[in-house]
Amino acid sequence: MRRAALVAFAVLGVFLRHGPATADEAFITEQNGDGLSVLDLSTHKVAAHISVGGKPAGIAMSRDGKTAFVTSTEGKFVSVIDAASRAIRAKIDVPDTPLGIAVDPTGAFIYVAGFYLPRIYKIDVATRAIVATASVGKSPSGVAVSPDGALIVVADRDDDAISIIDAKSFNAIATVKVGAHPFGVTIDAAGARVYTANVESNDVSIVDLQARKLIGTAPAGKRPYVVALAGGRGFTSDQYGGTVSAFDLETLKSVGRVSVGEYPDGLQASSDGRTVYVVNWFSNDVFAIDAQTLKVTAEMQVGDGPRGFGTFLRKTP
């Protein structure tokens, strides 16, 4: 079943030994299981399961950790979930297959990639209405927002490019060519650089966000899907390699690779930069990796077909 799901959704296309100083829970979308597992990062146990429906894949956690937004690829909707109560507050319909999703730093808007039309939608969280739409390149996948909320970046998979959108006017202001089939896209904490995981060229493209030009390429493993940044390093989830690869952010040279579960997909770093969490789609588990030693420090089993494509960590009160 999981291999069949890969074929179906490849065209659409981070846990555990971790203290409360950085994050306390992880919300993991489970595409085959039609829901979310909530992992307690202090006990290493699944604390709750939330039924969502529609084959959920993408996720964005609000900056305050109070709300999770989840895209359902077959249901064509976004679920708005109260993180503390685990209750679904709303389901917002979108006119296309939603995949990548990101949240404005203020929490006022979410940005959703519509894979087939292709479009990106700006949705008002309070009114739950689409308030703006922008055309982007073919097969938009990952979405990221600059730290100041001014720019949105979308990975245009089948155009081998990224689109840069002004958040206020919601106009596309630049297109930058990157590697082959970018899927995940990440912006650094300074809002200076964009990193794309290029599935078919097995590398990472680095784009200067202000100059809007490609400035470098870093190595990755086989079929990288997502990029995370931690401790002066970049990390990729390498689906066909069953690995997480690391490279130095200054030299862009490889610093190592660690074996993880089967078909690693979602990837996110802890807020203190010490740990990288990877969600393994086919082996139904989540690994924690020490960002400096590149050692696996913990594993946890979750539900069927976990993706965790986006931001899924939250602090609890």
pLDDT digits (tens, 9 = 90+) for 219-249: 999 999 999 999 999 999 999 999 999 999 9
92: pLDDT confidence band, cut at 50, 70 and 90?
very high
- Report which of residues 11 and 142 the model is more confident about: 142
Q: What is the DSSP letter of 221?
A: -
Alpha helices in the chain, H assignment, sequence order: 2-10
Share of the chain above pLDDT 70, in %: 93
CATH of the domain at 133: 2.130.10.10
CB-based burial, 24-60: b 16+ in 10 Å, e otherwise: bbbbbbbbbbbbbbbbbbeebebeebbebebbbbbbb
Structural domain includes residue 112: yes
CA 262 to chain CA mean position, Å: 18
Structural domain includes residue 7: no
Structural domain includes residue 4: no
42: pLDDT confidence band, cut at 50, 70 and 90?
confident
Look at residue 316 in the predicted model and tell me its pLDDT.
Answer: 85
Share of the chain above pLDDT 90, in %: 89
Considering only CA atoms, which of 4, 6, 60 is closest in space to residue 281?
A: 6
Name the residue with tokens 């202000």. Answer: 210
41: pLDDT confidence band, cut at 50, 70 and 90?
confident
23: pLDDT confidence band, cut at 50, 70 and 90?
low
Q: Is the pLDDT of residue 116 over 50?
A: yes
- Report which of residues 21 and 218 the model is more confident about: 218
- Tell me the C-alpha to C-alpha distance, in Å, between residue 41 and each of 15, 81, 267, 314, 315: 6, 19, 16, 10, 10
Look at residue 129 in the predicted model and tell me its pLDDT.
Answer: 98
Kindly report the average pLDDT of the chain as a whole number: 92
Considering only CA atoms, which of 235, 238, 237, 232 is closest in space to residue 246?
A: 235
Look at residue 5 in the predicted model and tell me its pLDDT.
Answer: 43
253: pLDDT confidence band, cut at 50, 70 and 90?
very high
Structural domain includes residue 276: yes
Which range marks the domain in which residue 209 is found?
Answer: 25-314
Q: Is the pLDDT of residue 103 over 60?
A: yes
* pLDDT tens-place string over residues 181-210: 999 999 999 999 999 999 999 999 999 999
* Strand pairing class (264-269; 35-40): unpaired
Q: Taking residues 112-133, report their average pLDDT.
A: 97
Structural domain includes residue 73: yes
Q: How many domains does the chain have?
A: 1
Look at residue 125 in the predicted model and tell me its pLDDT.
Answer: 98
Structural domain includes residue 163: yes
Sign of CA dihedral 300, 234, 101, 263: negative
Structural domain includes residue 297: yes
Look at residue 133 in the predicted model and tell me its pLDDT.
Answer: 98
Q: What is the DSSP letter of 263?
A: S
Q: Taking residues 7-36, report their average pLDDT.
A: 62
Structural domain includes residue 6: no
Considering only CA atoms, which of 37, 30, 69 is closest in space to residue 53?
A: 30
